[in-house]
Structure 1
Amino acid sequence: MTQRFLLTLALLATMVFCSGTASAATIDLNKALVIGTGPKKVIEFTDPDCPFCRKAAAYFHNRRDITRYVFFNPLAMHPNARSKAQYILSGHDKTRLYHEVMSGMVDRMDTKNLPVTAAGIKSQEEQQAIAKKAGIDSTPTFMIMGRIIEGFVQAKIEELLGKP
């Protein structure tokens, strides 16, 4: 392959990678569940019943060098995820509820009986609208240092953030 062909291919790949996605600058971080206080920023779109989202939650739980801005984007394939997200966003200690849900502690509970508030429902709906506007249709999806990572790919995350 010629060098010119390879450069054209790289440019096309970059255009495809960047099309249809929002940048972190266009996302209202005030609507996110904020976890942590570290200097590195991670924007995360997650589903409480997604097994890969749960692996990411466990990984990030021990990192003290990041601040996570979590947006719930429950997928249709997970019928209980919306209720779980609303439950988290309805609670007083949202971070604790997030960890309980993402660790599976709530899985055996009847999601119809989870206490939710009108504010929690509204917050979840706003977060999902933000995900839709940003073109996010899979979970987990991360925005880290201007890059978008779809799926929990620890090596790519650590390439950007460094190892814990």
Structure 2
Amino acid sequence: MIRALVALLLVAGLCLAAPLQAAELDFAKALKIGSGPKVVVEFTDPDCPFCRSASRYLDGRGDVTRYVFFYPLARHPRAREKVGYILSRKDGERAYHQVMSGALDGAATLASTPRGNRLREEQLMIATRAGVTSTPTFMINGRILTGFDRARIEELLGK
């Protein structure tokens, strides 16, 4: 019942007062970006234009550490391939930035490894268990925010 309510509110795009259960998220499976004192948990799709905008914005903040979990949407047919590619690279952060910038959008294929593909599926399960239904979804200071709402993110993180 609670999961259905959370999913309904997420779909409606509302910011919830109830936190995601951060203790249940396996941050060892996330792609870590940055080293700032403020933590942002990010659920993203590499082909989502709103996710890409949010990524550019968060890249410009030196005060943030991001824990990125991928949630490739079915309506983006190459998203799963791109996630597998990112999670297969030794330098996942660099690969993330290449993909999110659009630099690899025209690539015929993107190589992945069994380990990267397995991690992609584990991240998808983590996102699903967390109640994520759309991208981008963020957890900031115990709040859930869906969509790229720069003003709301700045409100939660400070400018």
Aligned-pair CA distance for 1:22: 3.1
Show the counterpart of 2:111.
115
Q: What's the CA shift string for 1:9-41, capped at 9, x where partnerless? A: xxxxxxx6467x732222111110000000100
Give the letter for the 2:120 counterpart.
Q
- 1:161 is the counterpart of 2:148: no
Instruction: Output the CA distance in 2 between the equivalents of 1:139 and 1:96.
Output: 21
1:67 partner SS = strand
- 1:126 is the counterpart of 2:94: no
Name the Cα RMSD after superposition.
1.6
Which stretch shows the higher mean deviation, 21-30 or 128-137?
A: 21-30
Give the letter for the 1:96 counterpart.
R
1:149 partner SS = strand
Runs of 5+ unmatched residues, structure 1: 1-15
User: TM-score under structure 1 normalisation?
Assistant: 0.85
| Percent identity over paired residues | 58
Show the counterpart of 2:86.
88
Runs of 5+ unmatched residues, structure 2: 1-8, 10-15
Give the letter for the 2:47 counterpart.
D
Give the alignment partner of residue 29 of structure 2, picking from 9, 28, 31.
31
Question: Which residues of 2 match residues 9-20 of structure 1 at below 5 A?
Answer: 17=16
User: TM-score under structure 2 normalisation?
Assistant: 0.88
Instruction: Output the CA distance in 2 between the equivalents of 1:92 and 1:130.
Output: 22
Instruction: Output the CA distance in 1 between the equivalents of 2:88 and 2:26.
Output: 19
Moved beyond 3 Å, runs of 4+? 16-19
Instruction: Output the CA distance in 2 between the equivalents of 1:69 and 1:109.
Output: 26
Instruction: Output the CA distance in 2 between the equivalents of 1:142 and 1:73.
Output: 12
Aligned-pair CA distance for 1:64: 0.8
Which of the pair has the greater relative contact order for Cα pairs under 8 Å at 6+ separation? 2
Q: What's the CA shift string for 1:93-134, capped at 9, x where partnerless? A: 111110000000010112xx2110000001100000000011
CA contact (8 A) 2:30 2:123 kept: yes
Distance 1:18 1:161, change over 3 A: closer
Q: What's the CA shift string for 1:48-76, capped at 9, x where partnerless? A: 00000000010011111010000000000
